[in-house]
């Protein structure tokens, strides 16, 4: 009998959840190879390849509807994987440029040398998140945010990005110092975080539900978690809990 995996085993191997896999199934993205008499779902080799494609496309910023269109148009799995390998190599190059950009910014900042905009933002491309922003919050949210970002000067963009880096670092220091999430010191950091988010939303203040859900998204999405956990394992959860405390007390 061919090798197959239960939904729990597949989820564990892929670093996701059974609930996510069932959701993919409901959308027609990942159907089980067979369903046992007991109702359990089992997945074979083809399912592994398809799930790999889904996860890789998610990492590139595609929303689930767009992924469905991509997968529906694929006939040759090997050709599709070769194409995606090329995309990953391009993404690898972009990340390498980001790393080099940050190294340059750090070196020049420490040396007191003037910064060049093309060096600071080399490898950064907010448009890669377009499909995901539209899927989560709608087309108006994307267009409004995109117009705001493009209208900013290079200095303003740099200041906005640096403000979040400073906030993330302060969260990490607060957690390492053993401060509680509802302490005055930590809540002051959350206030700065809230103000930063409000600026990104062009002055619209997040309500309690949005701000709380934003914290949950930080924990659930590795791309966001990386911004905080670089300051110590568990920092993202600390940020989430601090945001929840802020929302409960002030929003």
Residue-range domains of the chain with CATH: 5-59 (1.10.1660.10), 152-251 (1.10.490.50)
Task: Find, among 217, 235, 95, 105, the residue nearest to 168 by Cα.
Answer: 235
Compute φ and ψ for 143, nearest 5 degrees: -65, -40
Distance CA(53)–CA(71), nearest Å, equals: 8
DSSP 34: E
The yes-or-no verdict on residue 183 having pLDDT over 60 is yes
The yes-or-no verdict on residue 180 having pLDDT over 90 is yes
The pLDDT of 148-175, averaged and rounded, is: 81
Distance CA(132)–CA(224), nearest Å, equals: 14
Distance CA(4)–CA(18), nearest Å, equals: 15
Q: Are 89 and 60 in contact (CB under 8 A)?
A: no
Which residues 6+ apart lie within 8 Å of 111 measured at CB? none
Distance CA(192)–CA(188), nearest Å, equals: 7
Tell me the helices (H) and strands (E) count for the chain, helix number first: 13, 3
pLDDT at 120: 47
pLDDT at 146: 54
pTM, 2 dp:
0.47
The tens digit of pLDDT for each residue in 116-161 reads 545 444 555 554 444 544 455 455 554 555 566 666 677 777 777 8
**SS3 for 123?**
coil
Task: Count Cβ neighbours within 10 Å for each residue of 109-142 and write b for 16 or more, e otherwise.
Answer: eeeeeeeeeeebbbeeeeeebbbbbbeeeeeeeb
pLDDT at 133: 46
Distance CA(185)–CA(66), nearest Å, equals: 43
The tens digit of pLDDT for each residue in 200-213 reads 777 778 888 888 88
Distance CA(47)–CA(4), nearest Å, equals: 9
pLDDT at 71: 80
Query: How much is the mean pLDDT over the chain?
Result: 78
The pLDDT of 6-21, averaged and rounded, is: 88
The tens digit of pLDDT for each residue in 67-121 reads 887 788 766 667 767 776 777 777 677 677 767 767 766 776 677 766 554 544 4
């Amino acid at each position: 009998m061919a090798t197959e995996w239960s939904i729990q085993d597949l989820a564990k191997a892929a670093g996701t959840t059974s609930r996510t896999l069932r959701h993919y199934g409901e959308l027609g993205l990942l159907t089980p190879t067979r369903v046992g008499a007991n109702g359990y779902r089992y997945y074979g080799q083809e399912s592994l390849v398809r799930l790999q494609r889904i996860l890789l496309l998610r990492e590139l910023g595609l929303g689930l509807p767009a992924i469905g269109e991509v997968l529906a148009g694929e006939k040759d799995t090997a050709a599709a994987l070769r194409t995606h390998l090329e995309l990953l190599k391009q993404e690898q190059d972009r990340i390498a440029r980001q790393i080099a950009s940050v190294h340059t910014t750090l070196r020049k900042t420490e040396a007191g040398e003037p910064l060049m905009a093309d060096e600071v933002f080399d490898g950064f491309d907010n448009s890669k998140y377009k499909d995901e922003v539209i899927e989560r919050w709608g087309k108006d949210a994307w267009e409004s945010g995109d117009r705001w970002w493009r209208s900013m000067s290079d200095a303003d963009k740099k200041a906005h990005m640096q403000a979040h880096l400073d906030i993330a670092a302060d969260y990490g220091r607060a957690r390492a110092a053993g401060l509680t999430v509802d302490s005055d010191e930590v809540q002051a950091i959350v206030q700065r975080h809230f103000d930063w988010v409000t600026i990104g939303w062009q002055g619209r203040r997040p309500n309690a539900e949005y701000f709380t859900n934003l914290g949950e998204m930080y924990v659930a999405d590795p791309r966001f978690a990386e911004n905080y956990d670089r300051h110590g394992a568990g920092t993202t959860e600390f940020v989430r809990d601090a945001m929840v405390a802020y929302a409960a007390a002030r929003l």
